[in-house]
């Protein structure tokens, strides 16, 4: 359904809660490990990076929302880039999302779900079966109809708020507060400049979801006034929560210890509440991760389905079909299987770094698109315009370019290889696009001569 057919009944409060709900996921519970590993066990630069990533996200949300509001079509970033640049670049965006961003993100969350569940049960041999099983389970559930997904999201929202609130409150009440928060900046032998890119890539995973914020513009009573307030207010609130919980972690355990745990939140919870209380918090975190998984397996296959309906892929009829429940089951199960293949790596941080690098390269194109769209279509109706233009878009572009270039060139051999792998997988889409377009053209010629 197009946004311009939707009822305009959302006010500021509804928009604010939507922003917060879309962004807070599972990353805040797990990413401190990657952050403090990168800083060499020191807290300072890690805490500053949470602020920088938050400011980048606010600038990004404010910028992309102008395009979302001006191009009120379903399909998200793929459609925006197609409208602004070209059909080929739009396809490449969708291709990156369906072969890299969504399956790698789904796999990363499932890996963490598997590790935490197996730890809770006390049987590490179950990590891989649980990881694969949860992906396939949610894929099947999302093939049953959209109501199932909606119910999961409601339960998961409650699940993620409980551990957040309990850790923040009791972390400060019961924690010793003896650990440094802002010093030292980095550990001995670590270059601050060399790790900033890695830190931002890690933390931006926790902030991801902001790209969907502009989609609600068509349902708002006064998007020009309320949407920027909802984005700035909502993302500032998220940033405040993230800072609070990270200070709470450090209030209980030092940064060099947090770097040792795949789930720092569970380790902190156990230190605060004891083994049973720690397990209770872990269950809440698992519910949150389950909900995040459901969200990605609900939205990602819609991109694959759209590419199928556009006849942009081999086997387009397969991907572009819906089942008797009216949902794109083939696309959903296919994405679930691809995610399972990624999940075989068992590497949460590697998978999130891969997905963030790939998607941020296209986010930058979206930010640049604000300038191009204003130049090419100055009379286009814009229900909302990015405030402080051109400065806010320039902040978003500069931040995004820094993350992409840093990850590709400045963050060490491993990160460069991960990033180059993402580039190669994305560029494979070009010959596929050319092949399918040629096939479609030949089929059309055959139809005309028939």
CATH classification of the domain holding 242: 1.20.1740.10
Q: What is the mean pLDDT of residues 244-267?
A: 94
Average pLDDT over residues 176-194: 90
In a domain, 449, yes or no: no
- Across 221-242, average pLDDT: 87
Question: Is there a domain that residue 450 lies in?
Answer: no
> 77-81, 84-88, 170-174, 295-299 — which is least confidently predicted?
295-299
Structural domain count of the chain: 1
Q: What is the pLDDT of residues 206-217, one digit of tens each?
A: 999 888 776 666
Across residues 218-240, what is the average pLDDT?
A: 84
Q: For residue 245, is pLDDT > 60?
A: yes
| pLDDT, average across residues 162-166 | 91
Looking at the domain assignment, is residue 448 inside a domain? no
Domain contains 53: yes
Structure-model confidence comparison of residues 97 and 73, the more confident one: 97
What local confidence, expressed as pLDDT, does residue 175 receive? 87
pLDDT at position 444 over 70:
no
- Is 356 inside a domain boundary? yes
Domain encompassing residue 231: 3-443
Q: Is residue 296 over pLDDT 70?
A: yes
pLDDT of residue 274: 92
Residues 6+ apart with CB under 8 A from 73: 2, 3, 79, 83
- State mean pLDDT over 246-273: 94
Structural domain contains residue 235: yes
Q: Enter the pTM of the model.
A: 0.91
Domain presence at residue 213: yes
Average pLDDT over every residue of 105-114: 95
Asked if residue 351 is part of any domain, the answer here is yes
Identify any residues that bridge with 10 across adjacent strands, giving them in sequence order.
220
Q: What pLDDT shows up at residue 449?
A: 60
Q: What are phi and psi of 10, to 5 degrees?
A: -95, 130
């Amino acid at each position: 359904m197009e946004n311009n057919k939707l009822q305009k009944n959302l006010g500021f409060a509804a928009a604010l809660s939507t922003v917060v709900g879309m962004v807070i996921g599972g990353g805040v519970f797990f990413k401190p490990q990657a952050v403090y590993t990168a800083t060499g066990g020191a807290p300072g630069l890690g805490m500053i990076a949470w602020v920088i990533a938050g400011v980048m996200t606010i600038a990004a949300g404010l910028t992309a929302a102008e395009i979302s509001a001006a191009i009120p079509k379903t399909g998200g970033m793929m459609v925006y880039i197609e409208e602004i640049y070209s059909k080929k670049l739009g396809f490449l965006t969708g291709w990156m999302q369906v072969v890299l961003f969504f399956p790698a993100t789904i796999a990363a969350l499932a890996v963490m779900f598997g590790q935490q569940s197996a730890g809770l049960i006390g049987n590490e041999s179950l990590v891989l079966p649980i990881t694969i099983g949860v992906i396939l389970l949610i894929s099947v559930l999302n093939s049953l109809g959209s109501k199932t997904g909606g119910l999961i999201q409601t339960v998961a929202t409650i699940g993620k708020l409980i551990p957040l609130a309990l850790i923040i409150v009791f972390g400060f009440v019961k924690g010793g507060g003896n650990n440094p928060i802002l010093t030292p900046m980095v550990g001995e032998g670590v270059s601050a400049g060399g790790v900033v890119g890695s830190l931002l890539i890690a933390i931006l995973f926790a902030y991801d979801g902001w790209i969907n914020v502009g989609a609600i513009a068509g349902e708002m009573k006064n998007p020009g006034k309320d949407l920027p307030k909802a984005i700035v207010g909502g993302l500032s609130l998220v940033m405040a929560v993230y800072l609070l919980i990270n200070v709470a972690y450090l209030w209980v355990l030092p940064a060099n210890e947090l770097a040792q745990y795949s789930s720092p939140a569970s380790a902190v919870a156990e230190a605060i509440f004891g083994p049973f209380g720690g397990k209770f918090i872990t269950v809440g975190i698992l519910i949150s991760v389950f909900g995040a998984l459901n969200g990605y397996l609900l939205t990602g296959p819609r991109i694959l389905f759209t590419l199928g309906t556009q006849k942009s892929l081999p086997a387009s009829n397969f991907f572009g079909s819906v089942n008797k429940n009216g949902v794109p089951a083939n696309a959903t199960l296919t994405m679930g299987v691809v995610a399972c293949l990624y999940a075989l790596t068992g590497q949460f941080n590697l998978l999130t770094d891969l997905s963030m690098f790939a998607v941020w390269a296209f986010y930058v194109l979206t930010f640049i698109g604000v300038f191009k769209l204003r130049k090419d279509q100055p009379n286009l109706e814009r229900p909302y315009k990015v405030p402080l233009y051109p400065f806010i878009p320039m902040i978003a572009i500069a931040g995004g370019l820094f993350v992409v270039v840093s990850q590709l060139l400045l963050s060490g051999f491993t990160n460069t290889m991960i990033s180059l792998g993402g580039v190669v997988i994305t560029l494979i889409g070009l010959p596929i696009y050319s092949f399918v377009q040629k096939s479609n053209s030949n089929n059309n010629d055959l139809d005309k001569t028939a």
